[in-house]
């Protein structure tokens, strides 16, 4: 399997490129509009065919590159079930699997950051956790139908049921970290370790974070797969 973690410094977003080396088919998870040229050059250099762009959720902090990549490559745009994005080619359900050669990408319904957020499990060994679980943190729950109780249940009842050595690849990192494991996060994530559901909810409800700078433009743009007339 080819597995690459790509970074957008402006929004601290990770995009993941996953490909089967035999069939040369590729998936991009959470592409960023401003990084489409970078991602496409890499895909072309490696001789890959982009089949799918997959979103973990409708983002509030950056505009997706899916619409532009679809125009340029003919790939399919896939969003979680119930996500408002009429532009998508497909909505993916909990437990549904996308197969490319020897690679299996399974959608895991992990709401709480938003109400239709998916984590993607790649071959059962890599969890692309989007904004559900970060390295030593987690996504906020104070807008876009977020719900801290639901996020606690998603993390403890789904993500933390994977073996301790399972790799965690988050949707963002703001401190230069790239990868963690389920075991490490169970032990050291300050939002979860030693906390019960009630204490997690209290903590999340007391964060008082400012809105992301791009929320007013990003959410409506992402509901159109990032196709904003002025930007696309």
Which three-class secondary structure state does DSSP give residue 4?
Answer: strand
Q: Are strands 25-29 and 49-54 parallel, antiparallel or unpaired?
A: parallel
Six-digit token string for 8: 């957008």
Single out the residue of 168, 171, 94 nearest to residue 140, CA to CA.
171
Backbone angles phi, psi at 128, to 5 degrees: -90, 100
**Catalytic residue at 126?**
no
Which is nearer to Fe ion, 20 or 131 (by Cβ)?
131
Q: Tell me: does residue 131 bind Fe ion (CB under 5 A).
A: yes
**Catalytic residue at 131?**
yes
**Catalytic residue at 91?**
no
CB 191, min distance to Fe ion, A:
16
CB 59, min distance to Fe ion, A:
5
Of 59, 117, 126, 147, which is the active-site residue? Answer: 59
Asked if 34 contacts 19 with a C-beta cutoff of 8 angstroms, the reply is: no
CB 111, min distance to Fe ion, A:
12
Residues 42-81 binding Fe ion (CB under 5 A) are: 59
Which is nearer to Fe ion, 129 or 180 (by Cβ)?
129
On the 0-12 / 13-18 / 19+ scale of CB atoms within 10 A, 19 is buried
CB 163, min distance to Fe ion, A:
26
Q: Which stretch binds Fe ion (CB under 5 A): 38-46, 129-137, 162-170, 209-217?
A: 129-137
Of 20, 117, 172, 173, which is the active-site residue? Answer: 172
Which is nearer to Fe ion, 59 or 136 (by Cβ)?
59
**Catalytic residue at 82?**
no
Which is nearer to Fe ion, 25 or 55 (by Cβ)?
55
Residue 161: CB atoms within 10 Å? 10
Name the residue whose CB lies closest to Fe ion.
Answer: 131
Q: What distance in Å separates the CA atoms of residue 58 and residue 39, rounded to the nearest whole number?
A: 20
Q: What distance in Å separates the CA atoms of residue 164 and residue 56, rounded to the nearest whole number?
A: 22
**Catalytic residue at 164?**
no
Taking only Cα atoms into account, the Rg of the chain, rounded to an integer number of angstroms, comes to 17
Which is nearer to Fe ion, 59 or 68 (by Cβ)?
59
Q: What distance in Å separates the CA atoms of residue 41 and residue 46, rounded to the nearest whole number?
A: 9
CB 3, min distance to Fe ion, A:
22
Of 113, 117, 126, 173, which is the active-site residue? Answer: 113
In this structure, what DSSP letter does residue 205 have?
Answer: H
**Catalytic residue at 71?**
no
Applying CB under 5 A, the residues found at the interface with Fe ion are 59, 131
Catalytic residues: 57, 59, 61-62, 113, 131, 172
């Amino acid at each position: 399997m080819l597995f690459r973690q790509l970074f957008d410094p402006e929004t601290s977003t990770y995009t993941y490129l996953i490909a089967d080396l035999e069939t040369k088919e590729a998936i991009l998870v959470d592409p960023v509009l401003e990084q489409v040229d970078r991602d496409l050059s890499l895909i072309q250099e490696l001789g890959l065919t982009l089949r799918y762009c997959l979103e973990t959720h409708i983002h509030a902090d950056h505009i997706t590159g899916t619409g532009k990549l679809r125009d340029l490559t003919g790939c399919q745009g896939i969003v979680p079930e119930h996500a408002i994005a009429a532009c998508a080619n497909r909505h993916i359900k909990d437990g549904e699997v996308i197969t490319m050669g020897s690679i299996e990408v399974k959608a895991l319904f992990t709401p709480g950051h938003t109400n239709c957020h998916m984590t993607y499990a790649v071959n059962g060994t890599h969890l692309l956790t989007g904004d559900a679980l970060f390295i030593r943190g987690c996504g906020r729950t104070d807008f876009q139908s977020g719900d801290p109780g639901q996020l606690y249940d998603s993390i403890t009842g789904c993500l933390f049921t994977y073996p301790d050595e399972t790799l965690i690849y988050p949707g963002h990192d703001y401190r230069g970290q790239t990868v963690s494991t389920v075991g490490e996060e169970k032990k050291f994530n300050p939002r979860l370790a030693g906390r019960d559901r009630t204490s997690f909810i209290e903590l999340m409800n007391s964060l008082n974070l400012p809105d992301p700078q791009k929320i007013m433009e990003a959410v409506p743009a992402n509901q159109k797969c990032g196709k904003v007339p002025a930007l696309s």
